[in-house]
Structure 1
Amino acid sequence: MAWTEDRVEVLKKLWAEGHSASQIAKELGGVTRNAVIGKVHRLGLSGRATPSRPVKRPPRLARPKPRLQPDGSVTMPKTVVAEDDKAVKTAEKAAMVALPPQPLSDGEAATILTLRDSMCKWPIGDPADPKFAFCGRKSTCGPYCAEHAKVAFQPTKKREKRKADYDYVRKIAG
């Protein structure tokens, strides 16, 4: 395929309009994308009027979800849902601070080396900290003691009730 003056003019026009090399090759016919790129380079065509790809938009933020009030009314929260999650996690952490590790017979807290199957495996503290330990109490609910199982496992009824409330609020809010 030879580059005629007419084809070169079409190439220049389409390139200036912001078309991609693939689109130009398809328009011209009988030429590949790489041939178009090579010709653009040899002609010294620089920038375009518009980019061939759309500009990426910033990610959309989640909208606040409506809340069901005890009186049955629906209101929109003034704060973002993530702040509510932070409050719950802070309350859980406060509850865990009140429950220190159970000392073993030697007076030390349970470590990964001293844990047994019958001991609560709830981690307490930062793993990078030398004072990091595990709860060590008698495990009654799977791998955790009763107190830590309340935090780790959520009863099905609570989950179903929360989901039902959420579905009801979504239905009302539209």
Structure 2
Amino acid sequence: MNWTDERVERLKKLWAEGLSASQIAAQLGGVSRNAVIGKVHRLNLPGRAKAGGSATTARAPKRSAAAARPSTFGSRGITTRTVTRQQGSTMLKEEVDVDAAEQVSYRPASNVVVPISMRLGLTELTERTCKWPVGDPLKDDFHFCGHESPDASPYCSYHQKMAYQPVHERRRAAR
């Protein structure tokens, strides 16, 4: 079976009306459902609404290798990715533009004052001293911070900020 211009136009019309590939094949005659799906794919015809009610995006035309390279706008970029999606019982491949996330570099705050450790041993700790461990416990130079800790907290104000994160920051970091 050859795809004449007349048959291709009829295929396009029936596809736009929302008929399934099997229904189109039956109306055209002499062609299989798979042949219809293959021709629809080669013609880059747009997708249709899924049975669940949400509309699918139209298939993008093939791009050249130069167009597939990421382009950068400021610190953000758009990259072309090939993804597969299901159209009925058929998996279709399409190229989509993906907005790349902005790359963030870490820069520690310059106004942080790191306390100099008092270098207390385990037996020198009290209820009012910071119990933040420093170093390897199996080494001779292991010690605790030893600075004054407020309100019977186990850590000084500096080490409290390191040990306790607010709930909203923990949730943000977990995403």
Given the two structures, how large is their TM-score scaled by the length of structure 1?
0.34
Given the two structures, how large is their TM-score scaled by the length of structure 2?
0.34
Q: Which has the higher strand share?
A: 2
- Greater relative contact order (Cα < 8 A, sep 6+): 1
Q: Which has the higher helix share?
A: 1
